Structure 1
């Protein structure tokens, strides 16, 4: 998707009016309001060489936004995301931006679920 084509750094702003930030423990992520000016809200965009529609997002701690197998909230769809430094850059750190009306949904490649 061309949405991220010229982006080097992005802030991820949810439909709940919150920003995704990399926590200082260098593992967890959280959402806060009014966080756009924080360095922890900035995610570097990396493109996967084999595809022009797949990206990786790297935190200010040089760790990747990664899907886990843990549910985000009990009884809800979607998986918890973390910031990790995996040994290999596999599908758990790869995201496919998908246009959803006026927004973009980030779909994980490995699980088929996504976050917005």
Structure 2
């Protein structure tokens, strides 16, 4: 059972996925900080010095924190736009690689032999 688990865990796709998840989590923290510490204060200043994170609606005992929800939506939009741009950039590079002309194939033995015969005939003239 250990050998099967080791073979599974060390497959290239699993390792790539693990790296992607770790980088994605770190990127998510960066974007969250960007939204919370830079973008939301600027938006709050633009709309009159309001802290969006503190916006809420209270009805009886129920509290609806719509400011936190707005911050989460903006966070999501930034992450989605970043991923979209990254995938678009990678697709552009892949298209360039696909459009590169293939190297001409090496001449076959028959072509080499015919070339030598042609050269010998030229020398005889």
TM over 0.5: no
**TM-score normalized by structure 1?**
0.20
Choose between structure 1 and 2: higher helix proportion.
2
Q: Which has the larger radius of gyration?
A: 2
Higher relative CO (CA 8 A, sep ≥ 6), structure 1 or 2? 1
